[in-house]
Amino acid sequence: NAGVMQNPRHLVRRRGQEARLRCSPMKGHSHVYWYRQLPEEGLKFMVYLQKENIIDESGMPKERFSAEFPKEGPSILRIQQVVRGDSAAYFCASSPGLAGVNEQYFGPGTRLTVT
Amino acid sequence: AQSVSQHNHHVILSEAASLELGCNYSYGGTVNLFWYVQYPGQHLQLLLKYFSGDPLVKGIKGFEAEFIKSKFSFNLRKPSVQWSDTAEYFCAALSGGSYIPTFGRGTSLIVHP
């Protein structure tokens, strides 16, 4: 049973480019969370999605960031016009239901570097 | 807003030493608590969790944590660490009725052989 997959594992973008991060949840999981980890900081919640729905995006910056979880395919976190401050590790986690009641399973993360 | 504090940011131990990592949360109501571990280059894995019942929770790899409600704490312990325990450890809390866990900033543990 494959775990949560994220790709790419490492992504380098120049300022102003777009970054697309993909997350394939575990089989049977319909809930996906995205987190950002900055150096010397813990995981910060960004967005919570279920298939075809954004449930909570209260942790996502209002501009340049968007997320989707289509009916088919992986969840995508998209960052437009990246800036140096977007450099971080981005983790997704999946669960079969709500976190807290159900355990979250984390992917290996995508390390984004903006030059 | 709920917060989770991990006061030890960097811990260095020798093998066989005892470990205790502190975790305090701010929420006063019902809370679910978690400890995750992230080995170098790997993803976060759940070490243990507390939802209710016995406040002393046993997890994988010999780890345990004690929920002390009066102190708002959920400290992680291991009586004898190994070199392979070198990792980043994250405490997380989920207040009752919420579905968004709050994570602490993590504690980096280095165990010297």
B43–A106 C-beta distance less than 8 A? yes
Average pLDDT of A65-75? Answer: 95
B102–A45 C-beta distance less than 8 A? yes
Q: Is A48 on the interface with B (CB under 8 A)?
A: yes
Average pLDDT of B96-113? Answer: 89
Q: pLDDT at residue A101 above 70?
A: no
Average pLDDT of B2-24? Answer: 94
Strand partners, A40: none
Give the model's confidence band at B42: pLDDT under 50 very low, under 70 low, under 90 confident, else very high. confident
Q: In degrees to the nearest 10, what's the CA dihedral of A76, A78, A84, A86?
A: -50
Q: Is A40 on the interface with B (CB under 8 A)?
A: yes
Percent over 90 (pLDDT), chain B: 74
Which of B46, B105, B106 has the CB atom closest to A103's CB atom? B46
Q: pLDDT at residue A1 above 60?
A: no
**How high does pLDDT run on average in chain B?**
92
- Residue in chain A closest to B96 (alpha carbons) equals A100
Produce one character per residue of A11-44: b if its CB has 16 or more CB atoms within 10 Å, e if not: bebeeeeebebbbbbbeebebbbbbbbeeeebbe
